[in-house]
A = this chain, B = another copy of it.
Amino acid sequence: MAKITKRSPLAPDEFPKLPMIAGVSFAAAQAGVRYGGRTDVMLALLAPGTAMAGVFTRSATRSANVLDCQAKIGTPAEAGAAIVVNSGNSNAFTGRAGDESVAAICAAVARTTGVPETRVFTSSTGVIGERLPHDRIIAKLEELEAGLSEDAIEAAAHAIMTTDTFPKGAAASFSRDGKTVSIAGIAKGSGMIAPDMATMLVYVFTDAKIVQPDLQAMLSELTGPTFNSITVDSDTSTSDTLLMAATGVSGVTIPAGDAEFRAALHSVMLDLAHQVVRDGEGATKFVEIRVTGAANDADARTHAMAIANSPLVKTAIAGEDPNWGRIVMAVGKSGAAADRDRLTIRFGDVLVAENGWVAPSYREEDAAALMKEPEIFISVDLGLGAGTATVWTCDLTHGYIEINADYRS
């Protein structure tokens, strides 16, 4: 089994200090689903009235947990809610047994916490195709319930890690009417437990009072420029899940589309998304790709993702090679509109190519110096219209091969 212990060179120095969110309590435990000597299950209990919103993988082979969460998202909020997440086994592609595991966990959580089954949300991440030993999780529910604390979000962030090299958290807050509204979130992603694919799980909590449709609308909209604008290796998990809970305990009511709340939520989601990229398998470079001047925003995104997912671009960045020819290649193959002779390419502030050829002012040593930095900025202007998009990715290194070409057993 692949064992990754080295903290990503792109990791933040430490886990951030996250505010407590009134109406949410957390606990973590060692259930021994697959790992030994570490926590691998977390419970979050949410106050009555909590609105739940969610965004899920569009994979046609998504896991039993994802299907169950999707079915429950719109259920009435009065009874509160619970979230249970385990690492070590994804319960994906486990047939009918997978559905049975989800049902068994939800029933047991309902018995232990008093939250109805229709308000219990589960995620599983880890090995796929092996039956989830859900009894091990159920056996820990009383311990989890007894240990619930408003100040345990960091423990929850640790329990959901697979081969993530650091726990991921982010927060934002603002004042309104003399009260403070807080948002805090945790995530795991881009770590790999052989033989699984990289799964991204994200849980965001706020004490704001927002009705479910408004919360869902904001969460769905903000997923586009955040979690759906990152890519490590273009592969999509069967378990990707983003859940958001608004407890309302702050007493501050947030109307639909509130700009201040939207900005705060955007910052938390973007921060977590960037941390997922910074923990990309084998990553040594954090790369921002900004496309402007495309025929429209959709075309800009197509170009940006073609660049971000190109193995040739990603290996060039790993080699600190300012290989702009590969950017031209990726734009050309993307399928979106482009005119070779209107392309402008920059690395950071260095103008690399324009008018269909290398810029007269370009000196390779300038670009080569930028490529040695841990953060790389690539901008491409198509010269065609007003479409823009920004995406983030990492490089493709020997580390990625090492993590993913290892034997599973």
Q: List 20 A-B contacts (CB under 8 A).
A: A59-B332, A59-B333, A60-B333, A61-B328, A61-B331, A92-B325, A93-B353, A95-B356, A95-B357, A195-B323, A234-B310, A235-B311, A235-B333, A237-B329, A311-B396, A315-B405, A318-B405, A319-B406, A321-B408, A398-B398
A228 at the interface (CB under 8 A from B): no
Q: How many of chain A's residues touch chain B, expressed as a range?
A: 35 or more
A343 CB to closest chain B CB, in angstroms? Answer: 7
Q: How far is the CA of A97 from the CA of B408 in the complex (A)?
A: 52
Q: How far is the CA of A95 from the CA of B353 in the complex (A)?
A: 10
Task: Evaluate contact between A236 and B92: CB separation under 8 angstroms.
Answer: no
Q: How far is the CA of A355 from the CA of B237 in the complex (A)?
A: 20
The residues in A between 330 and 345 inclusive whose CB is less than 8 angstroms from any CB of B are 330-334, 336-341, 343
- Where the two chains meet, the residues of A that have a C-beta atom closer than 8 Å to any C-beta of B are 57, 59-62, 92-97, 127-129, 194-198, 233-238, 309-312, 315-316, 318-321, 323-326, 328-334, 336-341, 343, 353, 355-358, 364, 396-398, 400-401, 404-409
- Residues from chain B with a CB closer than 8 A to the CB of A96 are 356-357
With A195-B321, A338-B61 known as contacts, the answer to whether A397 contacts B406 (CB < 8 A) is no
Oligomeric state, in copies: 2
- Residues from chain B with a CB closer than 8 A to the CB of A94 are 356-357
Q: How far is the CA of A319 from the CA of B405 in the complex (A)?
A: 4
- Residues from chain B with a CB closer than 8 A to the CB of A330 are 235
Task: Evaluate contact between A401 and B356: CB separation under 8 angstroms.
Answer: no
Majority DSSP secondary structure for residues of A touching B: loop
> A311 contacts which of B338, B404, B407 (Cβ < 8 Å)?
B404
> A329 contacts which of B235, B323, B405 (Cβ < 8 Å)?
B235
- Residues from chain B with a CB closer than 8 A to the CB of A233 are 311-312
CB-based closest 10 A-B pairs: A61-B332, A319-B405, A95-B357, A59-B332, A236-B333, A315-B404, A128-B325, A60-B338, A95-B356, A195-B323
Task: Evaluate contact between B235 and A331: CB separation under 8 angstroms.
Answer: no
Q: Determine the residue in chain B with the shortest Cβ distance to A198.
A: B312
